[in-house]
Amino acid sequence: MADEGVTQTALADTCGVSQAHLSKVLNEKVSLSGRTAQALSGWVERREGIRPNATLVSIEQKLRLAPPTRRMQIMHLLRSLEQLIDQ
């Protein structure tokens, strides 16, 4: 995050959570809540100028309804994909 020019504190403030909570989410010590996921998604969209399309909105809605364990599995998968993209 620091290499993106963003601190955990600044991102946590934007998402309406404490820096400590965001750190726990990023280190997979607590589950990502729907509210925090939405706030993070909104931040990324604003930062990247991304406008959600209907497919992404549908996926997001399904993800919110998924059990916490399934959401964490998906987050791990997304992190793995991100690492592949960054290579």
pLDDT tens, the chain, 87 aa long: 555 677 888 888 888 888 898 888 888 888 878 888 888 888 877 777 666 676 777 777 788 888 888 888 888 888 887 777 776
Tokens of 19: 């820096």
**Short-list 20, 38, 39, 40, CA closest to 30:** 20
pLDDT at residue 80 in the model: 80
Predicted model pTM = 0.50
Domains contained in the chain, CATH given: 2-86 (1.10.260)
The span from the CA of 23 to the CA of 51, in Å, is 27
Say how many CA atoms lie within 13 Å of 36 toward its Cβ. Answer: 17
The span from the CA of 75 to the CA of 35, in Å, is 15
